[in-house]
């Protein structure tokens, strides 16, 4: 029996997070099913199949109801509820938030178009007045129209081609207008919606709306303020790492109560000066302690440029910790980590305090040149002191979308297997730019790595 086979198998404690994820999924499905039942119970099916003169109105009501329940779920998915974040991971929630947003948006447009068409069919001779009445003069409809326009604006800025032209900070600020749009839309539903008149249906919708609002206020406003005040985090120093990267060393009190794990990230707001209201996500780049955290940033964007000029004593607001790319995800005694550029930051922390034996951890680090290699000294020390196998792959990336440098021959998967022959029997952690990360994931899959053994997280919202 080999040494690897004789070691106890590492099993992640996943039952509780998985239970929460399953429960959240069931509740989301139940909300959609109940919404459909409310529509059907109020004559939606009859109006659709028996009374064709009400077909447009019936379908307009149904698409509007579905749009609203999906919008509420969209908000809940990004309310940063700790148990939900730990269950699905921030990147999964962000993708589902985006998907729900687009689906609810198109349903809202269909809802609006069907009602407009219904009014025009009923009053063809005065269609302009009918539309003006629908969108402006009817009870609360002007607010609903403004809210819809706000939501349309947010969706347009979220399209990839538009996002590329916007700074993250600007896009995030614009994105918040979707909450205002939803608030403007709500009154016309509660005041005039026939599916809101019964006491129990009104209770259902109020629970959805108030519950989502409470979740946002508690977990995105009150809780961050509470933990920031409790731990009193301040900047201790800004330390250069390379020509383009630097670390921000933070000091606080009783930070162990945050239960931060290496591999996780926080959303940071550095108080004082312009831009302090905008939060930015950064991974911790050194194993957390009871009185200190460290993050490492690369130049680029207003957030990083501002962080470079921070002075000692600057107060810090935090949200988190977030992220599931931690040692708790491990299923095997051996692991391999692949990092590109500043993506090395969570792995430096993981390698410092994760339990593994000599030779059980392999780090493959991609960077452009020596001037951009972050933590070279620290990684060399980890290789010497803890037996980490360190594989450095400098050079510019290939033009064919490969994760490898241009001067390296071989397919993506073949090189991965050559570097780590037993990669199919290891946990694989990866962090880097999204296109590079996709290439790594594709190569790992072709090398035999199971989906459940591939761990990564995008810091997108």
Beta pairing class for 361-367 and 245-251: unpaired
Nearest 5°: phi and psi at 4? -65, -40
CATH of the domain at 246: 2.40.30.10
**Does this model's pTM top 0.85?**
no
Residue 1 lies in a domain: no
Tokens of 387: 């037996």
pLDDT by position in tens, the chain (length 461): 223 333 334 444 455 566 777 787 888 899 999 988 888 887 777 666 766 777 888 888 899 899 989 999 998 888 888 888 887 888 888 888 889 988 999 999 999 999 999 899 888 888 899 899 889 988 888 998 999 899 888 888 777 666 667 666 677 777 778 888 888 888 887 776 556 667 788 888 888 888 998 999 999 999 999 999 999 999 999 999 998 899 999 999 999 999 999 999 999 999 977 778 888 889 999 999 999 999 999 887 667 888 998 999 999 999 989 988 999 889 999 999 999 999 999 999 999 999 999 999 999 999 988 888 999 999 999 999 999 999 999 988 887 789 999 888 889 999 999 999 999 999 999 999 888 999 999 999 999 999 999 998 765 54
In a domain, 260, yes or no: yes
Q: Which of 210, 226, 242 is the last residue of a domain?
A: 226
Let me know whether 287 and 181 are in one domain.
no
Measured in residues, the chain has a length of 461
**Phi-psi domain of 454 (left: phi exceeds 0; alpha: psi -120 through 50; beta: other):** beta
Which structure tokens are listed for 418? Answer: 């050559």
Residue 2 lies in a domain: no
Q: According to the model, what pLDDT value does residue 46 have?
A: 66
Q: Phi, psi at residue 54, to the nearest 5°?
A: -105, 10
- Per the structure, how many domains does the chain have? 3
Residues 295 and 428 grouped into a single domain: no
Q: Which pLDDT score is estimated for 7?
A: 37
Residues 303 and 431 in one domain: no
Range of the domain at 75: 15-226
Q: Are residues 57 and 96 in the same domain?
A: yes
Q: DSSP class of residue 232?
A: T
Alpha-helical regions (H) of 250-330? 302-308
The predicted structure's pLDDT at residue 311: 92
């Amino acid at each position: 029996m080999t040494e690897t086979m004789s070691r106890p198998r590492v099993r992640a404690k996943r039952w509780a997070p998985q239970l929460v994820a399953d429960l959240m999924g069931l509740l989301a499905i139940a909300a959609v099913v109940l919404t459909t039942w409310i529509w059907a119970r109020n004559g939606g099916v009859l109006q659709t199949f028996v009374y064709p003169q009400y077909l447009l109105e019936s379908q307009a009501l149904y698409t509007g109801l579905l749009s609203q329940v999906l919008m509420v779920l969209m908000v809940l998915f990004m309310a940063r509820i700790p148990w939900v974040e730990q269950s699905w991971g921030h990147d999964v929630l962000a993708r589902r938030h985006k998907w729900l947003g687009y689906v609810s948006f198109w349903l809202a447009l269909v809802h609006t178009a069907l009602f407009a068409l219904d009014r025009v069919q009923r009053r063809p001779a005065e269609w302009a007045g009918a539309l003006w009445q629908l969108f402006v003069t009817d009870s609360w409809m002007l607010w609903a129209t403004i809210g819809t326009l706000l939501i349309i604006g947010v969706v347009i800025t979220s399209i990839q081609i538009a996002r590329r032209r916007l700074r993250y900070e600007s896009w995030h600020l614009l994105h918040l207008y979707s909450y205002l749009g939803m608030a403007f839309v709500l009154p016309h539903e509660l005041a005039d919606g026939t599916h809101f008149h019964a006491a129990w249906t009104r209770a259902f919708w109020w629970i959805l709306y108030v519950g989502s609002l409470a979740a946002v206020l508690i977990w995105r406003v009150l809780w961050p303020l509470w933990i920031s005040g409790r731990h009193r985090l301040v900047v201790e120093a800004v330390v250069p790492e390379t020509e383009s990267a630097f670390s921000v060393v933070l000091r606080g009190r009783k930070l162990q109560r945050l239960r931060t794990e290496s591999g996780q990230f926080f959303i940071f707001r550095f108080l004082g000066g312009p831009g302090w209201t905008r939060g930015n996500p950064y991974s911790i780049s050194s194993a957390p302690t009871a009185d200190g955290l460290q993050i490492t940033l690369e130049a680029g964007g207003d957030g990083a440029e501002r962080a470079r000029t921070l002075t000692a004593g600057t107060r810090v607001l935090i949200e988190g910790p977030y992220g599931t790319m931690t040692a708790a995800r491990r299923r095997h005694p051996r692991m391999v980590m692949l990092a590109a550029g500043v993506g090395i930051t969570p792995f430096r922390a993981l390698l410092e305090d994760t339990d593994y034996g000599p030779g059980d951890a392999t780090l493959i680090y991609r960077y452009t040149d020596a001037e951009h290699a972050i933590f070279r000294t620290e990684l060399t020390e980890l290789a010497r002191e803890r037996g980490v196998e360190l594989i450095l792959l400098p050079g510019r990336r290939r033009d064919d979308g490969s994760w490898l440098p241009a001067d390296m021959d071989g397919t993506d998967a073949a090189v991965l297997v050559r570097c780590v022959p037993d990669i199919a029997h290891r946990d694989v952690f990866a962090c880097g730019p999204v296109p590079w990360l996709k290439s790594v994931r594709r190569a790992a899959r072709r090398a035999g790595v199971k989906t459940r053994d591939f761990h990564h997280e995008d810091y997108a919202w």
